[in-house]
C-alpha cells in the first residue's frame, strides 16, 4: 500500500479538483491510497495577484506528492522543480454571467464583477455603457459579494459553477467565440516535484488537452501577466487551432487565429501572441510577419 497525498485549496471547487485527481489515482491502482491535504485558501492570494506558494511549499516540504488546481489560476512561469505533470480532460470552457440571487436579473446600475483584464476588455466591448470591476476570491466568496448587493452581476467560468453546483445561477452563458476564456479555463492541472514517476496519473491525463493547454500558456507567457488577454485552443484530430485576444489600457482589442500540427502547440501559441503584438504596434515599414 502506498499513500499518494494530493493537496488543493480548502474551497468547494479546490476540494473537487483534488478529488478528481484522487479518484483517477485509485482507479489506476487500488493499492494506491489517495489522501487529501487541504491548504488554506487565504494563503492563495496577495491583493489582486494569485500567489500559489502555499501549494508549492506543500510539495517542496514533502507534505504532499501532487497539487491539483485550476490551470487558469496558475502563474505563467512556475517555480523551478515544480512542473505541470498532467492535465485532465477539459470541462466546459465557457463563461457565465450570474445575477444577484434576490433579483434574478443583472442590475445595470451596479458594476459587473470580472476576474481578469481580458474579461473586462471583452465585456466593455459587448456592453459599452456598463461599469466593471475586478474581483478576486473563491467562487463562493465571489457569489457572496454578488448576493449582498456589491455587484449588479458577475462573471464565472461554467466549470467552477458546476463544481459548486451553481449552474442554475447562470443568467447567460457566452460561447467561447463571443467571450474568449482565460488561459487554461476549465482545465484541472497537476503539479509535482521534478523527476518523480507519475505513471499513476495516466488515467487522469488527457493528451489533447495537454497540447491545447501548452499552446494557451505559451500565448499568455509571451504577452505577460499585465496584458489583458484571453485565449482558447482546441484539438481537432491532429490539428490544433487557437484563437487569442489582447487589449491595451485604452480598451482597444486585437484578435487573431492560428492553427497547425499538435507537435507545434507551443510555437503556435507564441506565434499568435507575436502576431497580435505586431498588429498592436501598428504598421512598420520593411518588416513583415510570417505565419
Q: Can you tell me which residue has the cell 510577419?
A: 289
pLDDT tens-digit readout, 15-62: 999 999 999 999 999 999 999 999 998 765 543 334 446 899 999 999
Measured CA to CA, the distance from residue 66 to residue 117 in angstroms comes to: 30
Co-location of 162 and 240 in the same domain: no
Going from the C-alpha of 260 to that of each of 208, 210, 246, 263, 291, the distances in angstroms are 14, 15, 21, 8, 10
73 and 146 part of one domain = no
- Can you give the CATH number for the domain in which 260 is found? 3.30.160.40
179 within some domain: no
Domain match, 78 and 130 both: no
| Residue 272, pLDDT above cutoff 90 | yes
Whether 65 and 198 map to the same domain: the answer is yes
**Confidence grade of residue 284 (pLDDT, cut at 50, 70, 90):** low
Q: Are residues 75 and 194 in the same domain?
A: yes
Last residue of a domain, one of 132, 153, 174: 174
Any idea what the CATH number is for the domain that residue 115 is in? 3.40.190.10
State pLDDT tens for residues 80-129. Answer: 999 999 999 999 999 999 999 999 999 999 999 999 999 999 999 999 99
Asked whether residue 67 falls in the same domain as residue 114, the answer is no
pLDDT digits (tens, 9 = 90+) for 236-247: 999 999 999 999
Pairwise CA distance, residues 250 & 247, whole Å: 8
Q: Distance between CA 213 and CA 239 in Å, rounded? A: 14
Same domain membership, residue 200 and residue 222: no
Average pLDDT, integer, range 54-82: 93
- Rounded to an integer, what distance in angstroms lies between the CA atom of residue 144 and that of residue 13? 15
Residues 217 and 284 both lie in one domain: yes
Burial class (CB in 10 A: 0-12, 13-18, 19+), 107: middle
CA distance 230 to 125: 14
194 and 218 share a domain? no
Whether residue 84 sits in one domain with residue 223: no
Number of domains in the chain: 3
* Strands 112-114 and 132-134, sheet pairing: parallel
- CA-based nearest residue to 158, from 171, 167, 149, 150: 167
Residue 233 placed within a domain: yes
Q: What is the rounded CA–CA span in Å between residue 231 and residue 193?
A: 28
Burial of 15 (0-12, 13-18, 19+ CB in 10 A): middle
- Residue 13, domain extent: 1-88+187-205
Question: What is the predicted pLDDT for the residue at 47?
Answer: 36
Q: Are residues 5 and 82 in the same domain?
A: yes
d(CA 20, CA 14): 10
In a domain, 182, yes or no: no
Other CB atoms within a 10 A radius of the CB of residue 251 amount to 12
* SS3 of residue 205 by DSSP: coil
Amino acid at each position: 500500500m502506498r499513500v499518494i497525498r494530493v493537496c488543493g485549496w480548502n474551497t468547494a471547487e479546490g476540494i473537487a479538483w483534488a478529488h478528481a485527481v484522487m479518484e483517477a489515482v485509485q482507479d489506476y491502482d487500488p493499492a494506491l491510497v489517495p489522501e487529501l491535504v487541504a491548504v488554506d485558501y487565504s494563503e492563495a492570494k496577495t491583493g489582486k495577484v494569485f500567489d500559489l506558494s502555499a501549494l508549492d511549499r506543500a510539495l517542496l516540504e514533502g507534505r504532499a506528492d501532487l497539487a491539483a488546481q485550476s490551470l487558469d489560476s496558475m502563474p505563467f512561469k512556475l517555480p523551478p522543480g515544480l512542473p505541470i505533470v498532467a492535465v485532465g480532460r477539459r470541462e466546459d470552457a465557457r463563461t457565465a454571467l450570474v445575477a444577484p440571487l434576490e433579483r434574478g436579473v443583472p442590475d445595470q446600475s451596479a458594476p459587473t464583477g470580472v476576474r481578469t483584464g481580458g474579461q473586462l476588455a471583452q465585456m466593455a466591448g459587448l456592453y459599452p455603457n456598463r461599469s466593471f470591476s475586478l474581483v478576486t476570491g473563491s467562487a463562493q466568496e465571489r457569489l457572496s459579494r454578488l448576493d449582498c448587493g456589491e455587484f449588479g452581476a458577475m462573471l464565472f467560468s461554467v466549470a467552477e459553477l458546476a463544481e459548486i453546483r451553481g449552474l442554475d445561477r447562470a443568467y447567460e452563458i457566452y460561447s467561447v467565440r463571443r467571450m474568449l476564456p482565460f488561459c487554461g479555463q476549465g482545465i484541472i492541472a497537476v503539479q509535482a516535484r521534478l523527476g518523480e514517476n507519475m505513471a499513476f496519473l495516466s488515467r487522469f491525463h488527457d493528451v489533447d488537452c495537454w497540447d491545447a493547454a501548452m499552446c494557451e500558456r505559451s500565448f499568455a507567457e509571451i504577452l505577460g501577466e499585465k496584458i489583458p488577454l484571453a485565449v482558447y485552443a482546441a484539438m481537432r484530430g491532429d490539428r490544433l487551432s487557437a484563437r487569442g485576444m489582447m487589449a491595451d489600457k485604452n480598451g482597444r482589442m486585437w484578435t487573431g487565429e492560428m492553427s497547425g500540427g499538435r507537435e507545434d502547440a507551443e510555437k503556435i501559441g507564441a506565434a499568435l501572441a507575436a502576431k497580435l503584438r505586431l498588429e498592436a504596434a501598428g504598421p512598420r515599414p520593411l518588416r513583415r510577419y510570417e505565419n
